[in-house]
Amino acid sequence: MMETIGFLELNSIAKGIEAADAVLKAAEVELIFSKAVCPGKYNVLFTGEVAAVTASLEAGERVGGEHVVDSVVIPRVNHQVIEAINLAPEPCEVNAVGVMEFFSITAAVYAADAAVKAAEVTLMDVRLGMGIGGKSFVVLTGDVAAVSEAVKCGVSAGEAQSQLVSSVVIPNPRPEIFTSLM
Domains contained in the chain, CATH given = 4-75 (3.30.70.1710), 79-181 (3.30.70.1710)
Q: What is the pLDDT of residue 145?
A: 96
Helices (H), the chain: 13-26, 50-64, 79-85, 105-118, 144-159, 175-181
Kindly report the number of other CB atoms within 10 A of residue 172's CB atom: 9
pLDDT at 179 over 90: no
Mean pLDDT of the chain: 87
CB-based contacts of 68, cutoff 8 Å, min separation 6: 8, 9, 10, 19, 60, 61
Residue 31, amino acid: L
Q: What is the pLDDT of residue 35?
A: 86
- Rounded Cα distance, 57 and 158, in Å: 19
Q: What is the pLDDT of residue 37?
A: 83
Q: Stretch 54-70: mean pLDDT, rounded?
A: 96
Q: pLDDT digits over 12-51, tens only?
A: 999 999 999 999 999 999 998 888 887 888 989 999 999 9
Q: pLDDT digits over 167-176, tens only?
A: 999 999 877 7
Lowest mean pLDDT across 4-13, 14-23, 87-96, 139-148: 87-96
pLDDT at 52 over 90: yes
Q: What is the pLDDT of residue 178?
A: 66
